[in-house]
Amino acid sequence: MACHERGPEVVMEHDLEQTMAVLERTPGTLDALVRGLPDLWTMRNEGGESFTVFDVIGHLIHGERADWTTRARLILRHGESKTFDRFDRFAHKRESEGKTLGELLNEFAGLRKQNLEEVRSWKLGPGELAKRGRHPGFGPVTLSQLLATWAAHDLTHLHQISRIMAHQYRELVGPWRVYLGVLHCKGHGAQAAEQ
């Protein structure tokens, strides 16, 4: 991980292999974590309109189909001249209907593999990573930021899944509740689903 000085602060350079290393591990991680789990863990939410684990996997699938590589291609082809479409945070509700969790996990793994192959085929260098596109809310963003966010977005949903699951045991743990950090993590569930 190379660093270079830019004014008073040290800025970390984006090494795409570090990002790919996370992205390629996520399907296997989710598979190991939730495939075959009893519904208690995967079909319950944190109350209200919050996501279940099943919803989160559906949301990740929609991202593979409609967000990450779609936006990356837009940056590479059109730069800032075309604004990204807004991401539909509820599309997965329709798209996941009637499917099993196992089917969603398979679908996610297949799409992710295909998308990472596509990204590798672009043979991105520093010039491409610095290219800018236009986000409907933020304005200019770089391809580097988009790809780093793809990996961090996986991590934010892994974080969310562990929290949704732990929530189901909030009473059963009795007095240990005070020591379990995951049970005190609140207020960013909705944010985490945004893009």
Binding residues vs a copy of itself (CB under 8 A)? 1, 11-12, 14-15, 17-18, 21-22, 25, 28-29, 31-34, 36-38, 40-41, 135, 138, 141-142, 144-145, 148-149, 151-153, 155-156, 158-160, 162-163, 165-166, 169, 171-176, 178-185, 187-189, 191-192, 194-195
Q: CB of 147: closest distance to a copy of itself in angstroms?
A: 9
Nearest Cα to Cα of residue 67 among 150, 171, 3: 150
Q: CB of 192: closest distance to a copy of itself in angstroms?
A: 3
Question: 4 in helix, strand or coil?
Answer: strand
For the chain, the first-to-last Cα distance in angstroms comes to 26
Q: CB of 17: closest distance to a copy of itself in angstroms?
A: 7
12 vs 78 by CB, closer to a copy of itself? 12
Question: 180 in helix, strand or coil?
Answer: coil
Contacts of 88 (CB under 8 A, 6+ apart): 62, 66
Q: How far apart are CA 121 and CA 135, in angstroms?
A: 24
8 vs 178 by CB, closer to a copy of itself? 178
Are the CB atoms for 140 and 65 separated by under 8 Å? no
98 vs 133 by CB, closer to a copy of itself? 133
Q: CB of 114: closest distance to a copy of itself in angstroms?
A: 19
97 vs 186 by CB, closer to a copy of itself? 186
Return the structure tokens found at 26: 């996520």
Beta bridge partners of 4: 11
